[in-house]
Amino acid sequence: GYIVLSKISLGGLIIFISGIIVNEILLMWQGVSAMSYNSIPFINEFLFSAALIMFTGLIILNVSQQRK
């Protein structure tokens, strides 16, 4: 495979996938509330936090793949 699995890389992958799930839930919440013309306060900050979670997972995954 392309990804060498270790405890660190598996943790990074789990963090990344968790960020994707949180992001999709937030976007669904935003879309459902927009159908009734309601806005969610601080949704931009929540989505930014989800992006940071995904970025952190990718950084951990990338660092774990560096050959020594």
| Contact (CB, 8 A) for 9 and 59 | no
Residue for token pair 């992006």: 51
pLDDT digits (tens, 9 = 90+) for 30-54: 999 999 999 999 999 999 999 999 9
Considering the chain, what is the average pLDDT of its residues?
94
- Going by pLDDT thresholds of 50, 70 and 90, the confidence category of residue 1 is low
The residue to which tokens 């929540």 are assigned = 46
How high is the pLDDT of residue 14?
97
